[in-house]
Amino acid sequence: MIPLSYYVVVSTLMFVIGLVGVLVRRNFLIILYSIELMLNAANINLVAFSHYLSSMVGQVLSLFVITIAAGEAAIGLAIIVVLFRKRATTNVDELNVLKW
């Protein structure tokens, strides 16, 4: 049986990789993937805890997280498409109309 700490280490690593991706990468799509990675890190945690605590709550939670991640991807891609039609770029650094 795999100890719980293995799961937590993997999920923390995934979370950190996602966070660094959001902060470092400059492409919308990759930022979106990185955020999905962070959400899935939470899912791994939830399912692992749910197994070790023998409670179903964690699995239910993770289903909701997946649903919300899907909704986010739909809205995010729609906004990106609108922006791409107008500006023909996917680089966040080129979004500099609004600044003080």
Partner 1 sequence: MNLTLISPELWMTLLSCVVLSIDFLAPQFSKKGLATLSIIGMALIMLHLVAMTWFGVQGTLFNTMFVLDPLAIFFKIFILFSTILLLLASLDYVDRLPHFQGEYYYLILFTALGMMFMASANDLLSLFITLEFSTFGFYILVAYLREDVKSNEAGIKFFILGVLAAALIAFGISLIYGDTGTILFYEIAKISPKISIGLVIGLLFIFIGIGFKIGAFPFHAWIPDVYQGAPTPVTAYLSIAPKAAALCLSLRIAFATLSDLKPDWVWLIAAISIFSMTYGNITAIAQKNMKRLLAYSGIAQIGNILIGMAAGTKMGSDAVLFYLLTYLFANLGAFVVVIIYSNMTQKDNIDDLSGLNRRSPLMAFAMLLFLLSLAGVPPLAGFVGKVYVFLAAVEQGLYLLVSIGLINVVISFYYYLIVVKKMYAVEPEEMTPISLSIPLRLVLYAGIIGVLWLGIWPKPFIDWSVSATHIFTHLMSQ
Interface residues with partner 1 (CB under 8 A) are 8, 11, 15, 18, 22, 28, 31-32, 35, 38-39, 41-43, 45-46, 48-49, 53, 55, 57-58, 60-61, 64-65, 68, 71-72, 75-76, 78-80, 82-83, 86-87, 92, 95, 97-100
Residue closer to partner 1 by CB (options 1, 46) is 46
Q: Tokens standing for 37?
A: 């990675």
Nearest distance, CB of residue 63 and partner 1, angstroms: 10
**Start-to-end Cα distance in the chain:** 55
> Considering only CA atoms, which of 14, 11, 30 is closest in space to residue 22?
30
Is residue 88 within 8 Å of 44, Cβ to Cβ?
A: no
